Amino acid sequence: MGSFKTVAYFYDPAVGNFHYGPGHPMKPQRLSVTHSLVINYGLYKKMQLYRPYKASAHDMCRFHSEEYISFLQRVTPQNVHGFTKSLSHFNVGDDCPVFDGMFDFCSMYTGASLEGAVKLNNNCCDIAINWTGGLHHAKKFEASGFCYVNDIVIAILELLKYHPRVLYIDIDIHHGDGVQEAFYLTDRVMTVSFHKYGNFFFPGTGDMYEIGAESGRYYSVNVPLKEGIDDQTYFMVFKPVVQQVIEFYQPSCIVLQCGADSLASDRLGCFSLSGKGHGECVKFVRNLNLPLLVLGGGGYTVRNVARCWTYETSLLVDEQISNELPYNEYFEFFAPDFLLHPEVVTRQENANSKQYLDTIVKTVMENLKLLEHAPCVQMQEVPPDLLSLENTEEPDPDVRNNQNDVDNRIEPTEEYYDGDKDQDKDDLDV
């Protein structure tokens, strides 16, 4: 049922060349490795590929404060010493370092999520994929947890121009705090986050009693989990919660953050999901048959992030791919097995008892029953699309976007491979 879907995929070959600094666990190169697998598996044949729009400071200020974005635009590793006060004010420095091209990096991943939202709004695709996005911790006034600009919030604001109710689902191991906070007071967005909670695990929020406030009361759903959760026990909460949320909330579109740090053997994570298990969540959401924006997020063991998001791309385009990885320029990363689904090594006992999970599901269900069924929104006059692009005199958003398609749609030629050649492969995959 509804298995054929038009899929738009956004990727800027430059995005994998950024570097947070030596020893930093966030490695944008994982995006180049993922893309290389996607191309070498031939999945590009089943998608529309786009080199995405770059978000402007103006686009970012739809959510963030002007002084924060202006700081991100101006600060560089060369002049950072002149910004001592601002660094602590905006929480930039350690987890969120100033690196070369930081603002460009933000423009790329944010522009891709934004363009995905515009394409969904205009019915140009059923599913939009941006593995470079999903930076769910960024706040209105500050950076947090390796995230500077919250591309998710900005994309959802765009979706809200056309959609009365947007559902956000987050399967990163960390709580989706930045997105929850942005929409905490509204019933137009329901946020649902599945994450590790307790023992000071970052960011420390997301217990099951954070439910939203004012008009947004009961529209924030949190599923706090303990370490070591495996595929089978994850589904015991994921499937019933998402199913009930759909039934009660009746969203008109979905944004899915697919952070891969919930996989077993993640450098920073402590869950025991397999790639197939993580992918099962993506498949489940895909099969709800609603317009879907799929984003990346965390993920700190590079080879496993690339395997996971490649496999999920194959599920989204409904194409079966071989367990043997195709030859690609990062082939040595996948030694010794060179498989898409290597055997899962679990380092943690599963600390989630059936009783604990049943209690969480029960509490979530009780809260869902308290929300009014599918709040009705009187849609006001729709403001213009957020993408201003270059051609500002063209008032018709359809015409403008068609032109944009022509300009930005790219075929998978060699140019895809060129961007990745000057990677430094030194401090990969720790």
Task: List contacts with Zn ion (CB under 5 A).
Answer: 172, 174, 259, 261, 298
Find all residues with CB under 8 Å of 346, minimum gap 6, and list them: 228, 230, 264, 272
Residue 227 to residues 56, 196, 199, 261, Cα–Cα distance (Å)? 39, 7, 10, 12
Angle at 217 between CA 368 and CA 114, to 5 degrees: 95
Residue 135 to residues 24, 66, 132, 383, Cα–Cα distance (Å)? 16, 19, 9, 25
Least Å distance, CB 172 to Zn ion, is 4
230/261 with CB nearer Zn ion = 261
Task: Kindly state the DSSP code that residue 394 receives in the 8-state scheme.
Answer: -
Find all residues with CB under 8 Å of 356, minimum gap 6, and list them: 226
Residue whose structure tokens are 């403001």: 383
Crossing angle of helices 29-40 and 302-316, in 10° steps, is 40
Task: Kindly state the DSSP code that residue 151 receives in the 8-state scheme.
Answer: H
User: Is 133 labeled as ligand-binding?
Assistant: no
41/146 with CB nearer Zn ion = 146
Angle at 217 between CA 187 and CA 139, to 5 degrees: 75
User: Is 176 labeled as ligand-binding?
Assistant: no
Least Å distance, CB 149 to Zn ion, is 16
Identify the CA nearest to 192 among candidates 140, 240, 264, 131: 240
User: Is 95 labeled as ligand-binding?
Assistant: yes
32/257 with CB nearer Zn ion = 257
Least Å distance, CB 344 to Zn ion, is 19
User: Is 162 labeled as ligand-binding?
Assistant: no
User: Is 261 labeled as ligand-binding?
Assistant: yes
- Catalytic entry in 64, 136, 137, 195: 137
Report the alpha-carbon distance of residue 277 to residue 275 in Å, rounded. Answer: 5
Least Å distance, CB 261 to Zn ion, is 4
User: Is 318 labeled as ligand-binding?
Assistant: no
Catalytic status, residue 64 = no
Least Å distance, CB 234 to Zn ion, is 15
Name the residue number minimizing CB distance to Zn ion. Answer: 298
69/263 with CB nearer Zn ion = 263
149/317 with CB nearer Zn ion = 149
Residue numbering of the annotated binding site for a divalent metal cation: 172, 174, 261
Catalytic residues: 137
Give the annotated binding-site residues for substrate.
95, 145, 300
